Structure 1
Amino acid sequence: MFLPTVAASPKLLLRRCLGVLQRVLCLFLQVYRWTRGGSEARVEGSPEERLRQGATTPTSVNYHFTRKCNYKCGFCFHTAKTSFVLPLEEAKRGLKLLKDSGMEKINFSGGEPFLHEKGDFLGKMVQYCKRDLQLPSVSIVSNGSMIKESWFHKYGDYLDILAVSCDSFDEATNQLIGRAQGRKSHIENLYKIRGWCQQYKVAFKLNSVVNTFNVDEDMTAHVTELNPVRWKVFQCLLIDGENAGEAALREAERFVISEERFQGFLDRHRNVSCLVPESNEKMRNSYLILDEYMRFLDCRRGRKDPSKSILDVGVKQAICFSGFDEKMFLMRGGKYVWSKADMKLEW
């Protein structure tokens, strides 16, 4: 009887040693996560924990339904890595899922959203969101180069806000940045679109990316004349795989500016009442971004890590992988008077 007991003892000892080793490894991994990204993990929790606690409400969503663009902005952080665009009915199904989950505002972007089907695909989605889903706010971000007055005539009633990107009021600077197409004047076109917005009762918004080529420019006079409802001023942001890194289609490192230079630009324009500044810190995690497959993109690690598509797993599960920082969204003024019916604008 003694021999089996002796034979069993090494096995028992081995199991105990393995158990201790497993606990040590778990402790090591926990410490490693804390030191490498622990504050993020402790504050936001894992996707599974966020799902148990209740998913974030997708109040405001940015749908980049196409990556194709006719401009070549050197700092672009959503580049033409694919030409895929969802069929319209599938896109509508996803938009309905978002509305049913609490979406109040949808922003269509790209790429250049007016490029696909000459803007008609975009117009049909805008019409669907406002007329059928009755969303409080429907907006678009565009470079403005493909917009025709006929689009406003057909779809303008369904659009709350049109944001046009303009990084400089000097044509040569726009050429350097890549925000241009041939010899067309980006600035003249911008003013033309501003007039159409006034005529067709669409709130006009201006977006600018501050970078090495425009950081010393004073845009006060032009912005004041254009009188947008908001002037979003972004600090040039690097995203691995998009505008930085080996797999990127852009090399944006030469466009990057320091926090100090960005603040200098803001100080120069401090008297522009519609200015809404967004530093890299504010911008990186405070947007709910859907890509062309309707996957939420997590930008916390300096790249775009996609969730599964909301068309496959639903909004509640997919949004837990978005890395969305709702507090920062509110701090940067992400929720504002965004329905043109409530803006009390003088048309």
Structure 2
Amino acid sequence: MPISVALLLASGISGLDASAAREIFGVDRTYLADPWYDFAVRAMDDVQSCDACRVERLCSPEQLTKTHTVVVPGWPDVRQAPPAALVGAVRDAHEAGARIVATHTGTFVLAAAGLLEGRRATTHWAHVDTLAVQYPRVRVDLDAPYVDEGDILTSAGQAASLDLFLHVVRLDHGAAVAKALAHHLVMPPRDAVEKAHPPAPSEPVGEDRILADVLSWVTQRLDSQVTVDDMAQQANVSRRTLTRHFRASTGMAPLQWLLAQRVQLAQRLLETTRLSVEQIAAQTGMGTAATLRRHFGRTVGVPPDSYRRWFRTRGEGGGVRLVGAPITPGQ
């Protein structure tokens, strides 16, 4: 039997989130997995968004409580309490055993339903403070693009909603199907734009005060040529002692950690600026564009030019603002 997915719609909800949900779960993808999903919409009021996302089938309140997965799109005004009917529908579906997937500011609807108390969740970065103030018992994750708590999943923004939906597909149909769908949508799966290992911590784990100052010192000098001897001198320890503390605290050798920091900085500059690859190579201490491309491609999985094109395309609907000089042709 296909997995049933219901999209909750109410006046003012994010049309982009609704369209993305329909694109992932409501389009026939039996060429990838058969059966695919059984997609329907539960309209909470006389909402006009149904036409926008081309809904073929509506579900009743009774059908909603029998649905496997319920998608809650972004709520338009986080300062205003969502309608009781919407909150009640989410609560009833969860109590009936549904998996709840909230995108963007849809997290506020889940919080209003009391589903997030003592649990991890995320939402758009611009509203994390509001979420923390309104619902102090929610454990807000500021860094994750999406949070999977098993029966409740939340995403950090509109662009991250697609990543969350692909994650759901991966859970339901396997990694190969999710990867094929990402390829069809011309977007790399998330594991292709993140490191194969967890991000290198910029702060030492635990109370390793030997590294506390040196890590801060290095991260302020990523555009400079910094050696292991330089780090050891800054920490006032031997090279061997520094390496031992690095491995114990970060799981990496000093130069591995330094390279990871430089790649992460390159990612941020590609995402948020119009600097050329050569300029980014200089600002990250990699020297040349060729060196940056080699290390970036090996670590992230895609070349920096492709990463930038992908992120800019995703950002057109997600509010990413690029600053700085225009990109040099060919970069």
The answer to whether the superposition gives a TM-score over 0.5 is no
Q: Which has the higher contact order (CA 8 A, sep 6+)?
A: 1
Q: Which has the larger radius of gyration?
A: 1
* Structure with the largest fraction of strand: 1
Per the normalisation by structure 1, the TM-score is: 0.25
